[in-house]
Amino acid sequence: MKLNKSCHIYTLFQKNMKVRSAFIFMMILVVQVAQAQQVFSPDYMRSIGKIYVVAGVTLIILLTLLIYMITLDRKISKLEKRQKHE
């Protein structure tokens, strides 16, 4: 398995075209959805008894922990690679 040399996520985007395009696609999607539904307008956030606030809080927690897990995974991959070379 080919492993990236650098651990930094932004250098990953510079080097790996596939990941970068996927990231850009995701950003465009998020912006489009946000514009179409006005996700961040107070009226939307406060509809249905403000349930979207709970959704936002849950999403922030899960996404942050997920990203943290990904960085940890990359750290371990780097260690494994180094161990293979020894």
Partner 1 sequence: MQNPSQPTKPSSIALWKWAAIIILVYVFIAGWFVPLKPGIIEASPDRTIAGDQLILAVKGYNSHFMKDPDQIRAWMRLKGDTVIKALHVEVVDDRHLRASFYIPSVFPIKQDAYPLTLILDHPTDGSSVLPNAVFVTPAAVEDPAEMGLWTRDKIDHIHKLEGFRYPFRNILAETIRNTYFHVPMWFTMIILFGISAWYSLKYYRQGLIIDDNISTAFVKVGLVFGMLGLVTGMLWAKNTWNAYWSWDVKQNMSAIALLIYSALMVLRSSIEDDMQKARLSAGYNMFAFVLLIPLLFIIPRMTDSLHPGNGGNPAMGGEDLDNTMRMVFYPAVIGWVLLGIWISQLVYRVDILKRNQ
Q: How far is CA 9 from the centre of its chain?
A: 10
Query: Does residue 9 touch partner 1 according to CB under 8 A?
Result: no
Instruction: Supply φ then ψ for residue 8, to 5 degrees.
Output: -70, 135
Query: Does residue 60 touch partner 1 according to CB under 8 A?
Result: yes
Region near partner 1 per CB under 8 A, out of 2-10, 12-20, 22-30, 67-75 = 67-75
For 6, the token pair is 């650098």
Query: Does residue 7 touch partner 1 according to CB under 8 A?
Result: no
Contacts by residues 66-72 (CB-CB < 8 Å, ≥ 24 positions apart): 71/7, 71/9
Under rule CB under 8 A, how many of the chain's residues touch partner 1? 27
Region near partner 1 per CB under 8 A, out of 5-13, 15-23, 27-35, 65-73 = 65-73
